[in-house]
Amino acid sequence: MFEIKAKDNRGRVGVLKTRHGDVKTPNLMPVIHPRKQVIDVAKYGADIVITNAYLIYKDEDLKKEAIEKGLHELINFDGPIMTDSGSFQLSVYGDVEITNKEVIEFQELIKTDIGTSLDVPTAPFVTRKEAEDDLEITLKRAKEAVEYKNKQNMEMLLNSVVQGSTFLDLRQKCGDELTKLGADLYPIGAVVPLMESYHYKELVDVVMNSVSHLPDSVPRHLMGAGHPMIFALAVAMGCDLFDSAAYILYAEDDRLLSTRGTFKLENLKEMPCSCEVCCRYTPDDLRAMPKEKRRDLIAQHNLNVSFAELRLIRQAIYDGSLMELVEERCRAHPKLLEAVRQLGNYKDDLEKYDPRSKKSAFFYTGPESLYRSEVVRHIKKLRKMPKKRDLIVLPPSRKPYSKFIRGKLGDFYIYGSEQEIDLDNTDFMVLDVPFGLVPLDIDEIYPLSQNDSPKIHDVSSIEFIEDFLSEFVEYYEQVLIHSKIIKDLGIGLYNKCLSDLDIVYKKDDVKKLKAIADYQFGIGAGDALFTGNINVEKSKKTGKIRHVYDGKVLIVNMRASDSYLILSKEGAKRLHNKMPYPLNRVIVNKDSEPFALDGKSVFCKFVVDCDYDIRARDEVLIVNEEDKLLAYGKSLLSACEIKEFESGQAIKTRKGMKK
Task: List binding-site positions for Zn(2+).
Answer: 273, 275, 278
The Cα–Cα gap between 532 and 477 comes to 33
Going by C-alpha positions, the residue among 607, 619, 603 that lies closest to residue 655 is 619
The rounded distance, in Å, linking the Cα atoms of 192 and 185 is 19
DSSP 157-176: EEE--B--TT-HHHHHHHHH
Tell me how far apart the alpha carbons of residues 585 and 569 are, in angstroms, rounded to a whole number.
15
User: Does an H or E element contain 248, and which?
Assistant: helix 246-252
Strand pairing class (553-558; 545-550): antiparallel
With helix as H, strand as E and coil as C, how does 426-484 read? EEEEEEECCCEEEEHHHCCCCCCCCEECCCCCCHHHHHHHHHHHHHHHHHCCEEEEEHH
Question: Would you say 491 and 481 are in contact if contact means Cβ atoms under 8 Å apart?
Answer: yes
What's the rounded Cα separation, in Å, for the pair 305 and 302?
Answer: 5
Which residue in 261, 265, 271 sits closest to 253, CA to CA? 265
- What is the sign, positive or negative, of the torsion defined by CA atoms of 552, 558, 559, 561? negative
Burial 488-512 (b: 16+ CB within 10 A, else e): ebebeebeeeeeeeebebeeeeeeb
- Which letter does DSSP use for residue 75 in this model? T
Nearest to 51, CA basis, from 149, 43, 66: 66
3-state secondary structure of 30: strand
Catalytic option among 8, 47, 78, 84: 84
Report the C-alpha gap between 531 and 575 in whole angstroms.
12
The three-state secondary structure class of 58 is helix
Question: What b/e sequence results for 118-128 when a residue is b if at least 16 CB atoms lie within 10 Å of its CB, and e otherwise?
Answer: bbbbbebeeee
**CB-based contact 355:617 (threshold 8 Å):** yes
Residues at the binding site for substrate are 119, 190
**Phi, psi values for residue 635, rounded to 5°:** -70, 140
Distances in whole angstroms, Cα of residue 272 to Cα of each of 248, 311, 331, 595? 17, 18, 18, 55
Contacts of 177 (CB under 8 A, 6+ apart): 139, 142
Amino acid letter for position 86: G
Quote the CA–CA distance of 36 and 143 in Å, as a whole number.
33
To the query of whether residue 84 is one of the catalytic residues in this protein, the response is yes
Bridge partners, 158 (sequence order): 115
Q: Which of 485, 451, 407 is nearest to 562 (CA)?
A: 451
CB 213 within 8 A of CB 186: no
Residue spans of beta strands (DSSP E) within 474-567: 478-482, 496-498, 534-538, 545-550, 553-558, 565-567
| Catalytic site positions | 84
